[in-house]
Amino acid sequence: MQPYQEKQRELFDSLEEGFRKNEIQTTIVESVDDFANDNRMSLTAVGFLSKELQETIQSKIITPLREADSRQYFFEPDALHLTIQNVRTSHTPALFNDTDIKKAQNVFRQILPRSPRQSFMLRGLFELPTSVSIRGYIGADYGTLVRSLRQSLSEASVPDNKVYASDDVVFGNVTVCRFTTEPNKAFRIVASQLKEMEIGIFDIHSVSLITTNTVCLPQKTRVIEEFILQK
């Protein structure tokens, strides 16, 4: 791993340990019984996974976890994504309006088409109190891009309202499961077995600004605009 990726790994591990000790350091999505009908809406910019990665994640991660505990909510293939930059976290009523969307849209229009494509290494699970994700590792240039987006959003009066554990180290993650109830022992065993699973490389060629619910359900997702990154 590159030095920046080692810092990402350390932050992943630190967050997991902190949550185990009930030391909440970042924004997380609270559990509900029925995520499919969850009306908490967010405004965010994401990269949607390729069909190949969707299939790999379904077979290697989601299927064994679902077989261990089917009570949990597992993401649909088309919903699998990696967040590039949050604008407004999930909430009912929504914490944004049409004016906020246009402001954010202008920021992404100015920055993303001039930015290079991003390449994440998807490897290992990231376990939080209410979800399981796949860890996404990337180089330091990505941190520079994200900090630029956050600063520009703030200057445009639509600052990112999410709380992060670190301003210096930025990572990616792909959520695969949200908990509707406390996972059973079998789920925890399978998650432990999959802890270091290698998924593959996620090359992000485009970023979509979307409004969506907490599980990016296709029926509740609206793509505002898609931004093509430089080759």
Average pLDDT, stretch 4-10? 97
When pLDDT is cut at 50, 70 and 90, the band that residue 224 belongs to is: very high
Element (H, E) at 103: helix 98-111
93-101 mean pLDDT: 97
Average pLDDT for the chain: 96
Round to whole Å and give the CA distance between 28 and 33: 16
Q: How many CB atoms lie within 10 A of CB 122?
A: 24
Number of folded domains that form the chain: 1
The predicted model gives 65-81 an average pLDDT of 98
What is the pLDDT averaged over residues 57-64?
98
Distance CA 81, CA 136 (A): 11
This prediction's pTM: 0.96
Residue whose C-alpha is closest to residue 70's, from 208, 223, 177? 177
Q: Are 47 and 82 in contact (CB under 8 A)?
A: yes
Give the tens place of pLDDT for each residue, 129-180. 999 999 999 999 999 999 999 999 999 999 999 999 898 999 999 999 999 9
How high is the pLDDT of residue 27? Answer: 84
Q: Determine how many CB atoms are found less than 10 A away from the CB of residue 59.
A: 10
CA distance 73 to 177: 6
How high is the pLDDT of residue 13?
A: 95
Dist. CA 20–CA 48, nearest whole Å: 30
Q: Which domain does 133 fall in, by range?
A: 3-228
Residue 187 in contact with residue 63, Cβ under 8 Å?
A: no
pLDDT tens readout for residues 25-52? 688 899 999 999 999 999 999 999 999 9
Which pair of structure tokens corresponds to residue 189?
Answer: 């065993």
> How far from the centroid of its chain's Cα atoms is residue 223's Cα?
16
Give me the amino acid identity at 178. Answer: R
CATH classification at residue 183: 3.90.1140.10
